[in-house]
Each structure stands twice: as C-alpha cells, then as structure tokens.
Amino acid sequence: MSSPLSAPNGHSSRIGHFVINGADGLAYRLADHLTSRYSADVVVLMTRDQHRSSRDFSELPRIRLVVVDRVDEKALIEADVAQASGLALTNQDDVANIHIALQARDLAPRLRLVIRMYNTRLGHAIESLFGECKVLSDAEIAAPALVASTLDEVAANPVEVARRTLLVARREDVPEKDIVCGLAFTNLGADPTMLPADPAVANLVLAEARSARAEELINTVRVAGAPAKSKWWRFRASRAFVRALFSRKLGIAFLTVLGILLTAGVALAFGNREIGGWDGFYLTLVNAFGGPQERPDFTRVEQGLQLIIGISGLAFVPLVTALIVEGMVNARLAVERGRLFQPQTDHIVLVGLGGVGTRILRLLHDRGLRIVAIDHNESARGVPLARELAIPLIIGDASRETTLRQAGVDRCRALMTVASNDVINLEVALQGRTLKPMLRVLVRIFDGDLASRVRRTFNLRLTRSVSYVSAPAFAEALMDREVVGTIAVERRVLLIAELIVGAGSRLDGSTVEAVDEAGAARVIALTELGEPRPLWNPPPTRTVRARDKLTVVCTRDGLSQLIRRTRAADVVAPGSVA
C-alpha cells in the first residue's frame, strides 16, 4: 500500500527522474542538491515508520513523496524505477540496501545505482558485480575532515589525478613550486573565502605530493607520547575506582553510619576519665557488633551513647555486606564495559558511536591519541570496536555533568559530539563548556541556520554537518559525473571534477580564462583528446576545444554552471524538460 503525498504538475510518473530511498539527513541533502542545483525531478521513497520521524521533504521543489508499508518491488514500481535515471539507497542498513539494489536491478537492468554502505570493503567488491553502480560511505567521506577540524589541522584528502597525488595543505606546509591551486582564505571567526580571485592570498592550497613534508601530511599517523603524570593522579585513580564500584546513595549511607559510630565512640571514651582510648575503642566494637551491654555504672548520657552505638551497629553490618556485594557485581560489569580506567589527561572525548563516530574512533586510535568514548546505547555500532581496542568506554547520558566528569572533560584536549541528534549534540557541547570554558568543541549539527546562530551566540566555532560534506559526492555519482574528490572547508565543500567539453557548447572555442570564475571554479589541468598526459595549470589564453577534458576545482554551484556550459548543444540533462 503506497501513498504518493505530492506530485508536481499533476504527473504521477516521470521519465529521467531520480529515486532516493531513505528519510534521514543525507537523503534530504541529496534531494535538495538534485532539485535546487540541477533542476532534476526526484521521487523520495520511504516506509511509514521512517515518514513519522523524517524531515519535511515537502518544502523542497520538484519532489514526489512515496510512502509505503515496506520497500519491495511493488514500491519500486510505484516510484517509476524502470523509467528513472538513477536510484540512491541512503538507508543505514547495508544488507537492506543490497537487497533493494538487487530488486531494482531486476526491474531496470541498466539503472544507475548509488549505494550507501558502512562496510566499504564489501561495497567495493559488489560494485563490479552490479555494474553501473557506485558505493559510497558518508562516514568515510566526512570523518577525516571532522578529526582534522578537532585537532586544528587540515585534512590532506589525497586524490589521484592523472597519476599525480594531490593533497590539501596550508600554504606554509608545502613548497611553493608544488602548489597547484589556491583553495580558500580561512580567517578565524569569519566564513572562508572560496577560490579567491588572487590565488596568492589563499592560505589553504591544493598541492602535489612530491616533498617529504607532503608525505608526512598524507601519513598523519603519529604516536603521541605519554604525558607526565600529575602528583594527584593516584588520588584521581582511587576516586574513579571507588565511583565505578559503589553507588552514591549506598556510599553516603555507609559513611553516615560510620560517622555516627565514630562520634559516639569518641564521646564515650573521652567523656569518662575512667575509660581510656583502648577501652573506648573496645566498648564501641562490643556494643556495635554484640549489642549494648548493661552498665549500671554509666551515667544516662553514657548509656544513651551506648544505645546509639548499638543501633548504629545494627545498620552497619548489612551496609558493609551490601557494599561488598555491590562492589563485586559492579567490578565485573565495569571491567566488561570498560569503565575501570585511569583518569586521562590531554585526551579526546568522543560522544556518539554510530557510523560516523566509529570511523572517528578508528582514525583517532590509529594516530595514537588517547580517547574516552561515550554512548547511551550499549548496542551502538562502535561499542564492540572500543572494547576490542581497549578504549575507555562509558555507557551513559553524555548530557549529564557526572558522565562528562567521569570522562575527564575538564582535563581533555577536545570534545567531539557526533551523535545523530542536533539537540543532544548541542546540550553536550554546552555542558562541556560549563566544565571547561576554553574547551575546544566540535559539534555535529545538520541545520545550517542553527549552526550559524550557535557559532555567533555560544562561540562554538566548530559546527559541522556530515550530510552537507558527503551529499555532493552522492549527487555526482548518481548523475554519473566524474567527481574525483571532495574537500571540506569548515561547513562548505569544494569538488575536484573532470568534465568533457561538448561540441557546440558555450565553452567550445573559449579560453581557460573564460572558464575560471572567482569563488566558483578554477581549471587546474586540461587534457586534449588523444593526449596521454594533461597540461597542468594551463595559461589563461589557452583555447578550450570540443572533447577537451577539464580538471577543475569548484564549488557545488560552480560545478552546476560548468555542467551547463560544457553540455553539447543537442543534449538535454536528465530530469529536465526538452
């Protein structure tokens, strides 16, 4: 049973459209990218359960929403997959995506498939088996950029172009002769200037990896030396150990009863000159564990103290028993959950162990950095990996102050909160800043407007969106365009793409200078038809001819414009009306 919720222009089917199966942030960004930048018609296919918690796709133009009980062949037929130009499977379930891809291939053998998979090793193995298929991982695309931002570094993002390895670096980190293109001018507290008119002002560049320093930037695996332990580390370790074993309420009860016993015993010993220190200690133990003994020679005050000691002793014995039992049980659970660990310093606190968090966990561990991981769900994807790598793991609510204190946020190097919920991420970030006002925090936020306001109001500069970084790669793969790399610059994205100049297109017969546009696109290489090697950094006066291949660095809008300008005169784009 399906429900087409909207159908623009009254059409129930469309030829040359794209189909997206999914309902999360990536599906929304991908639909927005296809409709707003390429004017393509899009059918979004999802289940009723997904629709209840999905984003509002109806606010996007050129969208037809199809809601079904389950995604099967009947649902794919309802979405007109047989007439579609491509199908994107963006659910976070590798097996389900493969199953739907097989069903779609039976309905449309030549359909272009783009599959989101966390297990990219399996994904690359099935690409050749499917044919006309591209497997991508949003976590794999975004994680390096998130780690680099957190560590105040630049993600190298090495890309192979015409048998050359290009990387992203700060200008001062690479020789001037190896720089291929100026990418952006980044200024602390301001939005970056992308592809500035004067490439020399760009402090973020694309360079060829020929120097030893460039190789170091690519191979960023570093083993961090162990910091010197502070003089308080033994006390902190003991406190962490006790907190992991005993509950707070039981500990308070035990200390209260013990305090009453000690106070009453001291008062009994020193209130009577005939009772010395040893006799006072002896009488306290006898009355506590054996019950009050009749002493006619005691005054009423001393008899009252004796009764208090006896009653406290009745409560003390079961409390000690409860502490022993709770300590043994909690010790076993704490060892299994990784909660028994020495207090960390100069470490990274990672909140959220979903697909993105798991990739980040692996990257940080490979670099030899100390990590404390937090997730509220013990069945999260990254929990087994954290335990396998012996990384301290806390299963709990990261928005609570006690959880963040246990993770050592007040002593950490940085906090990364990358859960899939914007509200939770923001709450954790603000709580972390409360514990450590100058804390470096990276916050994963989907909503761009919210991210902008958070940066201004709360001074949380490092706000990133995984779907914003990865959606362009999915869109270009879906349209079968040759995007060879993506470069994340804060919350914006640059693309490295290869375009063929169509005969009779607007660029046919123009010059490289006409292709370049400040803030939008820059040509870094030109390959003539039949030439095995490209001409790098072609001069501005170089003529662009039909069937030349242009390698460009561009923004998403810049790529959209170049695609229209390189299109042959008699070609109609998928999703457009002839």
Out of 65-69, 211-215, 320-324, 502-506, least confident range? 211-215
Strands 492-500, 462-464: pairing is unpaired
Q: Which helix (H) or strand (E) holds 498?
A: strand 492-500
Per-residue model confidence (pLDDT) at position 123: 86
With CA atoms as reference, report the closest residue to 430 among 466, 382, 394, 463.
463
What is the bridge-based pairing of β-strands 393-395 and 371-375? parallel
Tokens of 522: 């820059």
pLDDT at residue 100 above 90?
yes
Residue 489: phi and psi, rounded to 5, are: -125, 100
Domain locations along the chain: 1-136, 233-337, 348-464
Q: For residue 508, what are the CA distances in angstroms to 71, 487, 503, 547?
A: 45, 28, 6, 9
Distance of CA 116 to the CA centre of its chain: 16
CATH class of the domain whose range is 1-136? alpha beta
Tokens of 488: 């994340």
Q: Is 477 exposed, middle or buried (0-12, 13-18, 19+ CB in 10 A)?
A: buried
Phi-psi region of 279 (alpha: psi -120 to 50; beta: other; left: phi over 0): alpha
Dihedral of alpha carbons 170, 172, 176, 178, sign: negative
| pLDDT over 80 (residue 241) | no
Indicate the angle between helix axes 466-478 and 138-150, nearest 10 degrees: 140
The alpha carbons of the chain give a radius of gyration, in whole angstroms, of 32
| CA 184 to mean position of chain CA atoms | 23
Residues of the chain with pLDDT > 90, as a percent, come to 40
CA 310/CA 301 separation, integer angstroms: 14
Q: What is the pLDDT of residue 273?
A: 62
Q: In terms of DSSP H, where are the helices of 48-91?
A: 48-53, 73-78
The type of residue at 339 is: R
348-464: CATH topology: Rossmann fold (3.40.50)
| Mean pLDDT value across residues 310-326 | 80
Q: Nearest 5°: CA angle at 527, between 525 and 533?
A: 95
Topology alike, domains 1-136 and 233-337: no
CA atoms within 13 Å, Cβ hemisphere of 396: 21
- Distant-in-sequence, close-in-space partners of 70: CB < 8 Å, separation ≥ 6: 47
22-31, 234-243, 376-385, 405-414: which range is least confident on average?
Answer: 234-243
Paired sense of beta strands 193-194 and 179-185, if any: antiparallel
Tens-digit pLDDT profile for residues 494-525: 889 899 999 999 999 999 999 999 999 999 99
Q: Which residues contact 232 (CB under 8 A, 6 or more apart)?
A: none
Tell me the C-alpha distance between 552 and 499, whole Å: 8
Identify whether the C-beta of residue 91 lies closer than 8 Å to the C-beta of residue 97: yes
Q: Indicate the pLDDT class of residue 189, thresholds 50, 70 and 90.
A: low
Q: What's the mean pLDDT when you consider all of the chain?
A: 83
Fold of domain 233-337: Helix Hairpins (1.10.287)
